[in-house]
Amino acid sequence: MAAIPSSDEYWKDPNLSLREKWNLHVQKKKTAGASSKPTRFLHTWGPRGTLYVLVGAGGWTTFVVIPTLYQGGWENYILPAQILMGFLLLEVAVNWCLARWVSSKYRPELHGTMPSVPKVELDFQTCSGPDTKVQAFAPSGSDSVLENGETSCAKRSNGEFATGTDTKGNESASEVQVFDLDYAPPTKDGAYDGYSYRMLVATSLPNEDGHVERRSVPYWSWVTCVVCQRPRPPRCHHCPLCKACVLKRDHHCYFTGSCVGVNNQRFFHMFVFWAIPLTTFATMHMFPYASRHVGPEYGAGPVDFIFPVCVIRCLFGYVSFVVVFLCSEFWLLLFCTFTSISMTISHLHLFCVGRTSFERDNSIKVSDTRSLSGKLLSVFGKYWWLNFLVPLYPRFKPVEDAVLWPHIKP
């Protein structure tokens, strides 16, 4: 098969047939680390859904719901309620924009490169299984880095051995977590430290059959990213959706359509924090408005507030599109309220213990030796409390070395 062009110019090549152009297009999608269709769908429509809730529910509540509900002796509370709603909307919208567009991508020329480390002797272990042989491991707890091209065998959590060639379908050119049960036993509480936990990383892009060459490396080590073609530090992971290695990657947020990393972590925290009072305040007004005004005015009954039923009845002309809009906003507000509360509690705990979502989900035990004030500086920078009112990223950046991690004990 022909080499994959780096751009989309092959569509204009008159020497290629339409079928050949399509095959090149499909192969390029595979080598770009394409993720599953549901993931791409969430990545594309998640931010749009968030804007739909902010603009729709926020605007409707501010300019329609509040003036309508506060009639009959409550007119003096209309303006204060609108000001409060506007303030909450502003806080959520600003932090959403900054969480989406402030980059945490790893840039070696800006953040630094891999430090030189002494070479150490590798421990050897024999793995029994088809097409396996004696492989090399770096000793647990050492600062050594496996040379590019070295291979190792690892045991998956289900007991199966991972060989040099692995097929993982849509997880092409991404990381697959494995546990080397024989070589790196967990601690007493069932967790793995940064050296004993091993993961499979790709050493080549997928071939025509979708096979990817992978090798096992310690979690806390420098690894060469096969897509970016350069080493990346610990806690830095490549995101196939963002198409970049992200420093201190916590997770990919589908509400913002970007990865949460070292630079935009504060904005994500503030986004979900302010989303709680915003969605709660809007829901408290939407519910009585729907029951008192939408039903009598548009002829909607209780069954019309079940969203699938509401859509079907709207298609047949029984209810107005306004009812569908308000019904969708109401259920999205409820979803966002509970999601914001859950994520705020979860990430508050992770912040206090100095771990990321990736480390929590995979039971990787790392320790942040700093005090609570030091952890606050690492995320919010100086005068951290001002971030609850005004984002201060350009002035006070996070006090964190996301490359060498001097305060983290893996």
**Residue 227's closest CA among 171, 270, 146?**
171
DSSP for 259-276 reads EE-TTTHHHHHHHHHHHH
**Residue 262's closest CA among 373, 345, 379, 357?**
379
The gap from C-alpha 84 to its chain's centroid, in whole angstroms, comes to 30
Query: Could you give the CA distance from residue 310 to residue 331 in angstroms, rounded to a whole number?
Result: 12
Q: Token pair of 386, please?
A: 């001002």
**Catalytic site residue from 245, 253, 259, 336:** 253
Helices (H), 188-320: 265-289, 295-298, 307-315
Question: Among this protein's residues, is 225 annotated catalytic?
Answer: no
**Pair 215, 152: CB distance under 8 Å:** yes
Q: Token pair of 193, please?
A: 């430290």
Give, in order, the Cα–Cα distances in Å from 36 to each of 33, 247, 358, 409.
10, 23, 19, 35
Catalytically annotated residues: 253
